[in-house]
Amino acid sequence: MLVAVGVLGVGCSRSTPSSDQQGSPSVSVDGSVFGTRDEQAVLHLAEQTLIGRCMIELGFEFQVASLPNDTLMAEPYGHDDVELSRSEGYGLERSSATRNESGEVPNVTDPNAAYTASLSPGRHQAFTEALFGPPTGRSGSADLPDGTSIGFPLEGCLADARGELYDDGEAYMSAVSIIDNLATEVQTRVTAHDDYIRARDQWRRCMKDRGYAVERPSDAVDLAFAEGNLSEIEIAVADAECSQSSSLVTTAERLEAQVWVDVLDDNAEVIAGYLELRDDAIERARFLLES
């Protein structure tokens, strides 16, 4: 069974060929496993609202968070934008400039951080257990293709909210744990492909000719971190130019489109079950937020 799904929300938008096979789950190419941005925001806010009600009933405060407009564009296969590299390098300077004293980037503030910081250690632990369930509470799990197992609580306000929103919270989490990690499976298959390995070897030789002894694109970013801001531009530009001459990124993108079809097909049943739960949940979420 083949599922044709446009995958949004996995770092960048992709589209995959459609299928006319009968019996396929009806998911349009322009649709998305995760739904539109508006649908994601509605589900997110409804889940947070239900969690908040539960936590308040248990005697805690809870600050509901809306879905932020993050724009992370993960580059698992490197980058080939020479002009951007010339002006911004890898963007590392920006990250460094916003770090706090502990060396972390405070770009996503936990909405309940101020409240929980005001609690005694014992009360904070009670807050945590009310939200995520007790340490000995019931839990569910889902197995990923590589054997990794993702666990999730089935008790606590978070689990109760998902149960109310998705009707079957365990089924929802079992499916979404797998779907959330499909991109990793795609990346694993792409980087193991002969075409990708050939392109990466060309990129490596090109970088060596430019004076950088690196094995893979992330090594170049590592080197830029170590060398400092002045070298970052030079390394990033060399990286992008070598990516272009070796067709590293374009090869990866071509393979990725092919591999997504296979990965979605392999997980068609999980995706179909998830979409059914999600579609019903969107109706509940809208009703909840309008009432």
Partner 1 sequence: MKTRPLLVIVAMAIGLMGVEASPAKADNPPMTAYCESGTLCVWWDSHYSGNRYPFQYSNPQWTDTGNAAIANDDSSSRNNGTSGLRVSIYTGPNYTDTRVVCLAMGSYTGHHSPTDSGDSNVWVSSC
Q: For residues 19 and 80, which CB has a smaller minimum distance to partner 1 in the complex?
A: 80
**Do residues 179 and 274 make contact, with C-beta atoms less than 8 angstroms apart?**
yes
Q: Provide, rounded to whole angstroms, the least separation between the CB of residue 10 and partner 1.
A: 6
Instruction: Pick the closer one to partner 1 by CB: 19 or 154.
Output: 154
Q: At what angle do helices 248-266 and 194-209 cross, to 10 degrees?
A: 150
Q: Which among 78, 81, 79, 52 is positioned nearest to 66, based on CA atoms?
A: 52
* Closer residue to partner 1 in complex, CB, 188/245: 188
Residue 150 has φ and ψ, to the nearest 5°, of -105, 125
Q: Please, what is the minimum distance in Å from the beta carbon of residue 85 to partner 1?
A: 13
Question: Are the C-beta atoms of 44 and 70 separated by less than 8 Å?
Answer: no
Nearer to partner 1, 24 or 284 (CB): 284
Q: How far is the CB of 130 from partner 1 (least distance, A)?
A: 9
Min separation Cβ 233 and partner 1, Å: 15
Least distance to partner 1 from the beta carbon of 22, Å?
31
Cβ-count burial of 264 within 10 angstroms (0-12 exposed, 13-18 middle, 19+ buried)? Answer: buried
Which DSSP string corresponds to 215-244? Answer: SSHHHHHHHHHHH-HHHHHHHHHHHHHHHH
Closest to partner 1 by CB, 20 vs 101, is 101
